[in-house]
Structure 1
């Protein structure tokens, strides 16, 4: 495969189908970054380390070593010995000193891809061309007795490079890891711009460009989850980068907790990108003989703009991260009762929804919050996961059987990580909530968080979920998390280990979801966190889909889904047709537009279908047929961004083309109508230029070359918020 080593010059080359990553050892033992970009066969680039240039030269008498360390392009920078830029690693010894100096020791090349204990990780695929290879570099600080393993994995079919780090204490003293990031890139500034994803509840993952200026730009979360507000992703782009042109250097973090993504530009026009667990509130005790594994980071370089970067991430996650048996299958069209009923429902109401849904081709009913304990509002009963038989008369199994008799599958909502102060569980175990002794616990959404750093609580929460799933034919779970972590303290951790809390909490969540999938391998799991508050690669390892946002308004969803699809496959985005007027923003939109936007994700409904008019029911049945017609293409195809409402303030357009270039589906959403406007010129992508394509709706024929270079002319739709699907089929 693509990993090569020049033993004489100590140069390491990692090549994917279209990219090359070079590292080298300077001054005998300093591991430096040399190059990341277009694929090259030549690896003789030692001069790129600038090892002989002042102030980078390592003088024998060490007169200017600090000057060198502060300018050298490190592969994995550390704190305390002269590099004053932000490090990846900060270690405190038993004396309270923070100093580390890593020296290259050895390398190893392995076939395959190692897993990470208790954490999500990419893996080699079983199909032809999906094999993996891994380079492991060993660095050492002899004074601390610390060994650092840097892992770089590549796959035959991907342009991504997967990085992870392991710290091993081989000395005789206790060490404290105060910071251990997973990836770093030291590069020369190319007049970079920075692209990040930001937002808030109901407005997640909006694409946001920034100019890289001297100093630091930090994207992060300290909420115990990746959050609605920031995404563990960043991309440096060269000036003028578009969907099809320009260089892109991107990083994404395979993790679901606190993170930091930082870009730093120094006075010498050097740029450092780094990504990993946020150091604030983090400290890991490393006793002699122990090790710590940091989560994986994904690196992607594209010389063909953002579009190529996007498709690299999509294919990587579909082929090498998402494990679900449903990955390459149509997901059942579901209807969720939340916006139809909120907490006000009983078994008869749910069966009535199921009966009507069945007539329209809907395939699953999902019972949301309110079915357990004394849960009649959001102020009580979380943790009391016993069926409320005053609502579900006859019990859960009786309800599931009645829904199954209507021809529908059954799904259920849980929030296993939470506990209400007004609950039997809290009254019995008040110490099970995360809390600081002597302080009142601050509530969010009337609830506290269970301390999942404690194994007995993990076991309890898991057993509650599993017991319900064992009791009836439940085929889908929506796993929710409706508040961030605060008031950090655990009865199970002493003062020396309290800095491990956040990471141990995430490991507890991962453990629960892994156990769930092992016991119920046919279960379709959808993660959620008050909408899209935990939409990250870590969660995709356990669930093939994640609820994208609580805002289902199709116009709001344009920017939300554009930003989400910048990294994540369309098949992973939970998307439903909402009630109208929309409950988040009050907007009134055509049912067709709500459907067309939802088709770009998993597709489903979140409304009271029994209240639809006959005309609306006919439309819904048609949308369901559209889902079955187009979903294989949307789920498996290549995604292209044609136009962005975020940029033009008028309309949005995206395209999905199958890998064989036989068909493509274009979705056009016109947000604003204006008089005296010409038709829109939509330049399509990814087609066979020599083939001819028929527009199914009209029978018109176009060459792929014409559609991609001259474009398709889309007439203005009268009125705001209109949409259209354009389905092109190659003529054989």
Structure 2
């Protein structure tokens, strides 16, 4: 049994293949305590870890020090205002203005499988995949029912958590904070791993010691953001890629979030994760239910790399729904960096003709095809084909591209509206705004208030009409600015704090409609590059544009950080032109191809203008993609070396799940004069099996490759790369 309840100890035991998570109900007031999370144990009762038999004791034995109990007890879900001065997980406010809260256990249920979350993306599993526990509690001050949900995915070493609030009190209550996860770790001296960045340099890895007080990552931008990411890992000080304890938490949500660690006065560390409470206030009316998003948790005693592989397996099997998740993706060429806004039908056909000769399989028409969109200052919201550019209409263009043997894709930015647009002239109140105040511009555009059903219906109707008008196989859904000036003329003051969350729910509803109406569509999400590369988006789209920065050397760190949580098959990665449009760097065409292989693979350039030498590389790169696509999509990922630490080189590897083959990518970022060959140790192979290095015929055991390693000679010049393919004999 993955989930067991022991009545004698009033404890719950949640087991995966390698981990155990334990919860206990204590004292006559039925406090819910977090007992243990770590390497799997067979014991049924570890309640002594709660320290209830030592000062300050439980309130039934020492009520005079009740506040001290609250401030030190390892709460499974901490509440606000009664004496636990660490970060709380929930804060409810009554009509009278009171916000103190106390949670107590009422009952529980244990079931096979996992229910869907209302209106939210979440992991899924049937009766064979997982078991679920619901701990039903009551918040004493308001009478609100609080349901703590847990689902155990045994094979993947993953436990998911979410929270529901149900109001059956006959009175409204304001929800000012409702995190999805609260974890109290008994101990300190942890390191914290988080992901940070900005536009064009997303998800760079930061590792730092956890100290006293609160530290973490957050977004209040209305999206998961370029700057911080809804992921946090705690690890032991000695943890490396291959050794040590690691706890990873990832939020399945695409809006404002907080992920925080806090070391307390008593040497404990509390981790919370959920919707950011800033600008959040939800009116929970009588009879209403509020569903908090899901947190995915995994524990590894085999280092950071195993945590990564747990996340990858989980998301490939139990989050991504698209029919493309296990398929080779069509190799596309996007016209954005080739033409920007300066294109017409003939230019697109010229690119498609040349691309089709080289084996490229899809043409994607990016921004600039609609309304009077001749630059990025106008026309967002006017989703009608500009027939001055696309002569004869969209179907005519798509039919000609299809006749070349290529599929066709198109770009949208459905959530935005330009001040200079027909839509804004007709509906200026449709933009998110504070009445009577100027709206903050970003990229000369506003944000549509898609918390409103009528706006969602209108915009989605335009998108659907375009997709129904021609044989469109792919959509790139973009979002190029963050939310500001949070206000709506159509929402009362009591509910104004709901806009950010309702906005995200509106995005999810539109994407759900899109995937149901067009089940064969390949959807790729984007947000100014990688500002909404998160688990919530993966529920709707099997791939997300990783970053607007396509420079191969910059992408090493961006893709390495992204791979901390997300499978390579989810990362939109293209070969672009040089000098690179973001950095000005010049890298070999071959290296650009090798780095883009660690993703969905495609092209972002004008194939009619590149050199014949570069053009000749494209069929070779396409052959490599087809050769390795299945391995890259489904294999186990290992980080071997990274340029941020090693300075001169980067190296990573994908090993087939059955250990039959491995692909190693080595990039020499900077050459070193008068240097020896570099020794690299390969990971994840079958120890006693023989493997042949396909490119040079070397045959060694897996143990030799892993322990003795291989030698990679110094390559001539900077930014050089090689692929190493090992095949089990």
Q: TM-score, normalised by structure 1?
A: 0.99
The question of 1:41 aligning with 2:42 is answered yes
Matches within 5 A, 1:563-712: 563-712=561-710
Secondary structure of 1:195 counterpart: strand
Which of 331, 350, 353 is the aligned partner of 1:352?
Answer: 350
Partner of 1:6: 6
Shift of 1:676: 2.4
Q: What whole-Å deviation, never above 9, does each CA across 1:61-98 have from its counterpart, x for those lacking one?
A: 61000010000000000001111111000010111011
Secondary structure of 2:64 counterpart: coil
Partner of 2:115: 114
Partner of 1:207: 205
Q: What whole-Å deviation, never above 9, does each CA across 1:179-208 have from its counterpart, x for those lacking one?
A: 000001101224101110000000000000
Which of 359, 362, 373 is the aligned partner of 1:361?
Answer: 359
The question of 1:301 aligning with 2:302 is answered no
The question of 1:419 aligning with 2:420 is answered no
Q: Is the Cα contact below 8 Å between 2:114 and 2:126 reproduced in 1?
A: no
Shift of 1:57: 3.3
The question of 1:548 aligning with 2:546 is answered yes
Partner of 1:95: 96
Secondary structure of 1:317 counterpart: helix
Partner of 2:18: 18
**Distance of 2:187 and 2:228 partners within structure 1:** 24
**Distance of 2:564 and 2:126 partners within structure 1:** 23
**Distance of 1:143 and 1:463 partners within structure 2:** 45
Secondary structure of 1:36 counterpart: strand
Which of 383, 392, 406 is the aligned partner of 1:385?
Answer: 383
Change in Cα spacing, 1:392 to 1:571, as seen in structure 2 (3 Å) is same
**Distance of 1:464 and 1:611 partners within structure 2:** 35
**Distance of 1:289 and 1:52 partners within structure 2:** 41
Shift of 1:626: 0.5
Secondary structure of 2:608 counterpart: helix
**Distance of 1:321 and 1:481 partners within structure 2:** 22
Partner of 2:715: 717
Matches within 5 A, 1:37-76: 37-60=38-61, 62-76=63-77
**Distance of 2:331 and 2:62 partners within structure 1:** 71
Partner of 1:229: 227
Shift of 1:59: 4.2
Q: What whole-Å deviation, never above 9, does each CA across 1:307-358 have from its counterpart, x for those lacking one?
A: 1000000000000000000000000000000000000000000000000000
Partner of 2:151: 153
Secondary structure of 2:493 counterpart: coil
**Distance of 2:188 and 2:280 partners within structure 1:** 33
**Distance of 1:693 and 1:423 partners within structure 2:** 61
Q: Is the Cα contact below 8 Å between 2:100 and 2:141 reproduced in 1?
A: no
Partner of 1:264: 262
Q: What whole-Å deviation, never above 9, does each CA across 1:581-621 have from its counterpart, x for those lacking one?
A: 00001000001110000000000000000012222111111
Structure 2, unpaired ranges of 5+: none
**Distance of 2:254 and 2:183 partners within structure 1:** 22
**Distance of 1:167 and 1:401 partners within structure 2:** 51
**Distance of 1:115 and 1:197 partners within structure 2:** 28
Secondary structure of 1:241 counterpart: coil
Shift of 1:156: 3.4
Partner of 2:174: 176
Secondary structure of 1:558 counterpart: helix
Q: Is the Cα contact below 8 Å between 1:104 and 1:140 reproduced in 2?
A: yes
Q: What whole-Å deviation, never above 9, does each CA across 1:196-238 have from its counterpart, x for those lacking one?
A: 0000000000000111110100310000000000000000110
Q: What whole-Å deviation, never above 9, does each CA across 1:509-563 have from its counterpart, x for those lacking one?
A: 0000000010000000000000000000000000000000000001100000000
Secondary structure of 2:106 counterpart: strand
**Distance of 1:622 and 1:175 partners within structure 2:** 62
Secondary structure of 1:348 counterpart: helix
**Distance of 2:500 and 2:110 partners within structure 1:** 33
**Distance of 2:173 and 2:473 partners within structure 1:** 46
Q: Which stretch has the larger CA shift, 88-97 or 611-620?
A: 611-620
Partner of 2:214: 216
Partner of 1:523: 521
Q: Is the Cα contact below 8 Å between 1:183 and 1:275 reproduced in 2?
A: yes
Which of 477, 485, 510 is the aligned partner of 1:487?
Answer: 485
The question of 1:86 aligning with 2:87 is answered yes
**Distance of 1:680 and 1:55 partners within structure 2:** 58
Q: Is the Cα contact below 8 Å between 1:145 and 1:172 reproduced in 2?
A: no
Secondary structure of 2:221 counterpart: coil
Q: Is the Cα contact below 8 Å between 2:15 and 2:154 reproduced in 1?
A: no
Q: Is the Cα contact below 8 Å between 1:282 and 1:499 reproduced in 2?
A: yes
Q: TM-score, normalised by structure 2?
A: 0.99
Shift of 1:679: 1.6
The question of 1:477 aligning with 2:491 is answered no
**Distance of 1:398 and 1:499 partners within structure 2:** 46
Q: Is the Cα contact below 8 Å between 1:135 and 1:151 reproduced in 2?
A: yes
Secondary structure of 2:696 counterpart: coil
**Distance of 2:74 and 2:23 partners within structure 1:** 10
Q: Which stretch has the larger CA shift, 449-458 or 712-721?
A: 712-721
| Backbone CA RMSD of aligned residues | 0.9
**Distance of 2:625 and 2:96 partners within structure 1:** 63
Q: Is the Cα contact below 8 Å between 2:232 and 2:248 reproduced in 1?
A: yes
Q: Which stretch has the larger CA shift, 35-44 or 307-316?
A: 35-44
Partner of 1:330: 328
**Distance of 2:124 and 2:455 partners within structure 1:** 30
Q: Which stretch has the larger CA shift, 142-151 or 337-346?
A: 142-151
**Distance of 2:179 and 2:637 partners within structure 1:** 31
Q: Is the Cα contact below 8 Å between 1:190 and 1:238 reproduced in 2?
A: no
Q: Is the Cα contact below 8 Å between 2:101 and 2:140 reproduced in 1?
A: no
**Distance of 1:190 and 1:716 partners within structure 2:** 43
The question of 1:321 aligning with 2:319 is answered yes
**Distance of 1:90 and 1:517 partners within structure 2:** 35
Shift of 1:141: 2.2
Shift of 1:56: 3.8
Q: Is the Cα contact below 8 Å between 2:192 and 2:234 reproduced in 1?
A: yes
Shift of 1:574: 0.2
Q: How many residues align?
A: 728
Shift of 1:125: 5.6
Secondary structure of 1:64 counterpart: helix
Structure 1, unpaired ranges of 5+: none
Q: Is the Cα contact below 8 Å between 1:26 and 1:49 reproduced in 2?
A: no
